[in-house]
Structure formats: structure tokens, C-alpha cells
Amino acid sequence: MSSATGRLLIVHGPNLNMLGTREPGIYGSESLEDINALCHRAAADLGYDLDTVQSNHEGALVDAIQAARGTADGIVINPAAYTHTSVAIADALRATALPVVEVHLSNVHAREAFRSHSYVSPVAEAVIAGAGSTGYRFAIEHLAAYLSS
């Protein structure tokens, strides 16, 4: 039996499975496995269990987010390119009624103009951009603080 405080879901959007080799000057040299390990450590430090999911498919991400309702206490999401295009992912997050923290490895506001718009941000309790992989730790710490407040 788990003695955890609760359960968090980390959602990684398209192309994040390529981390480590994908434009490392922008996204860093850590792999998705490295980032998931970091997330597991951060969650465990705060007494939370953690699930992670990555997909390159919008519908699969919607399914994973819907499934979090009733199984997770909060969601950390890097929607990647779907940040800028997906009403469906934003609606799924809204439908869960769970607290959401949006993470971007890069500072999306210092890049192409289209990356400054996020469909997800209006649903998020907090948005962290440009802190690299540490942003995931910040997001988990924020969710834990939010959930215990």
C-alpha cells in the first residue's frame, strides 16, 4: 500500500521523446528519461507518487489527461507544439478540474512570435518557461505547495 501524499501526472507532448538529440542548444542535452527521473525524485522528495506519459498524438494526450480525473491530484504538462495549436488539450485539462502547471524547457517568449501564444496557459495555475529541466522540479514543488494550501 502506498503511503504517498497523492499522485501527480506529468504529460509530455510531441517531439519530447527526442530530447537529448533534438536541438540541444535550445532544449538541453538531457533525455526524456533523465527528465522523468528528475520528476520522480522531485515528487518522492515531497511524498508524491508520479505517472508520466509522452505522446506525439493529440488524441492520445487528450485520453491521458481525461484519465487523470479521479486518478491524479494535479498535472504538470509540457504540451510542446500543441501549446500553440490545441483547443482539445486545453479543454481536456479544463474538464479534469485538476490544478495544472504548464512547463516549457525554453523561454517561448524569447523565440518566434507564434510560440508566445498558449491555449493552455489560461487553464494553468502557473507557467514556467526557460528554466530548462529544472522547470519540472519547480512545477512539482508548486503543485505540492498548492495542494497542501
Check residue 12 for interaction with ligand DQA (CB under 6 A).
Answer: no
CA separation (Å) from 4 to 12, 44, 72, 74, 134? Answer: 23, 8, 12, 14, 23
CB of 66 to ligand DQA, least distance (A): 21
DSSP state letter for 118: -
Binding-residue pattern over the window 109 to 148 for ligand DQA, x denoting contact by CB under 6 A: ------x---------------------------------
Check residue 108 for interaction with ligand DQA (CB under 6 A).
Answer: yes
The Cα 125–Cα 98 span in angstroms is 10
Residue 7 annotated as lining a ligand binding site: no
Is 104 an annotated catalytic residue?
A: yes
Q: Which stretch binds ligand DQA (CB under 6 A): 28-36, 46-54, 86-94, 99-107?
A: 99-107
The Cα 139–Cα 41 span in angstroms is 13
Cβ proximity to ligand DQA, 96 vs 106, nearer residue:
106
Indicate the pairing of strand 74-78 with strand 48-54.
unpaired
Bridge partner residues of 81 (DSSP) = none
CB of 20 to ligand DQA, least distance (A): 13
Q: Which helix (H) or strand (E) holds 1?
A: none
- Check: CB of residue 35 under 8 Å from CB of residue 42: no
Is 82 an annotated catalytic residue?
A: no
Cβ proximity to ligand DQA, 5 vs 17, nearer residue:
17
